[in-house]
């Protein structure tokens, strides 16, 4: 059962939410924040493999359709299959393997710093502790190791069907990521805030418990590792960035 707590960001309501959550109950908070404070509200639930899939973009829809096709192929042929649900991937094993695209948050920040421009935040009025979107970031090395573990699990059990989250179970806000990037790179550029982008949910954080159970896998690298290794790769291709 899920309990709706009206005014759950207020003085009394926040204590009620805290008590219910500590007792293992599921809660949803409704509060207009006229007197309440968003930081009093605990983080919304982790995304599990049983969380209903409701893609918010065509990209997400294609990922879900891909899972359907993989699962259907497995049922029709008896093949063992696995669908690994990536969360936000960053970092590099070595500088030459770093991401060369500028489509995700970390390289987008790097690009702005290289141009001597402030990093951009798309919306700072989300219902999160600092108002910016919260995401689960996973080091690409940990992601690759999850693939190895999944391949071995499928080889050991023909006909197996796995759908697993590959994340760390830890939310980091956009503003917090920018702070880490500034610290790692030696820059000190406060971000500018632009309007929200359509389709950006406030918070998406994985529960990786099932991956730990099914694959005996767990992420080993933190955000500092991701940023440090990604920056080394960026500077290799953009040496002028190191002089910024």
Tell me whether residue 59 is one of the annotated catalytic residues.
Answer: yes
Query: Which residue blocks in the chain are alpha helix, DSSP H?
Result: 11-22, 58-77, 105-114, 140-156, 174-185, 209-215, 223-237
Q: What is the pLDDT of residues 155-186, one digit of tens each?
A: 998 888 999 999 999 999 999 999 999 999 99
Least confident of 29-38, 56-65, 175-184, 209-218: 29-38
CATH number of 45-243: 3.40.50.720
The per-residue pLDDT of the chain, averaged, comes to: 92
Q: What is the pLDDT of residues 88-144, one digit of tens each?
A: 999 999 999 999 999 999 999 999 999 999 999 999 999 888 999 999 999 999 999
Which CA distances in Å does 84 have to 45, 213, 223? 20, 14, 21
Q: Give the contacts of 179 (CB within 8 A, at least 6 positions apart).
A: none
pLDDT of 39 higher than 80:
no
* Three-state SS at 146: helix
23-31 contacts: CB < 8 A, separation 24 or more?
A: 25/1, 26/1, 26/2, 27/2, 27/3, 28/2, 28/3, 28/4, 29/5, 30/4, 30/5, 30/6, 31/6, 31/7
pLDDT of 243 higher than 80:
no
User: pLDDT-based confidence at 194, cuts 50/70/90?
Assistant: very high
Q: Considering the entire predicted model, what is its pTM?
A: 0.84
CATH 3.40.50.720 residue ranges of the chain are 45-243
For residue 43, what pLDDT is reported? 67
Of 30, 59, 126, 137, the catalytic one is 59
DSSP bridge pairs for 135: 172, 204
Q: What is the pLDDT of residues 212-232, one digit of tens each?
A: 999 999 999 999 999 999 999
Give the number of other Cβ atoms within 10 Å of residue 53's Cβ: 14
pLDDT of 239 higher than 90:
yes
Tell me how far apart the alpha carbons of residues 146 and 196 are, in angstroms, rounded to a whole number.
33
């Amino acid at each position: 059962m899920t309990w709706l707590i009206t005014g759950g960001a207020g003085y009394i309501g926040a204590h009620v939410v805290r008590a219910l959550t500590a007792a293992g109950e599921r809660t949803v908070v409704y509060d207009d924040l006229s007197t309440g404070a968003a930081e009093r509200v605990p983080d919304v639930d982790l995304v599990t493999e049983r969380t209903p899939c409701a893609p918010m973009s065509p990209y997400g829809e294609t990922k879900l359709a891909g899972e359907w096709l993989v699962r259907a192929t497995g049922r029709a042929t008896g093949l063992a299959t696995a669908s690994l649900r990536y969360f936000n991937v960053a970092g590099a094993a070595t500088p030459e393997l770093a991401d060369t695209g500028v489509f995700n948050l970390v390289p987008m920040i790097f690009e702005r710093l290289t141009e001597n421009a402030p990093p951009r935040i798309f919306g700072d009025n989300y219902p999160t502790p600092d108002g910016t979107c919260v995401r689960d970031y996973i080091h690409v090395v940990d992601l690759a190791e999850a693939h190895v573990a999944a391949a071995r699990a499928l080889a050991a059990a023909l006909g197996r069907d796995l759908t697993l989250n590959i994340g760390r179970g830890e939310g980091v806000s956009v503003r917090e990521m920018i702070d880490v990037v500034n610290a790692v790179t030696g820059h000190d550029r406060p971000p500018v805030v632009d309007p929200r982008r359509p389709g950006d949910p406030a918070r998406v954080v994985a529960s990786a418990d099932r991956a730990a159970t099914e694959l005996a896998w767990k992420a080993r690298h933190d955000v500092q590792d991701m940023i440090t290794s990604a920056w080394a790769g960026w500077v290799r291709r953009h040496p002028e960035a190191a002089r910024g």
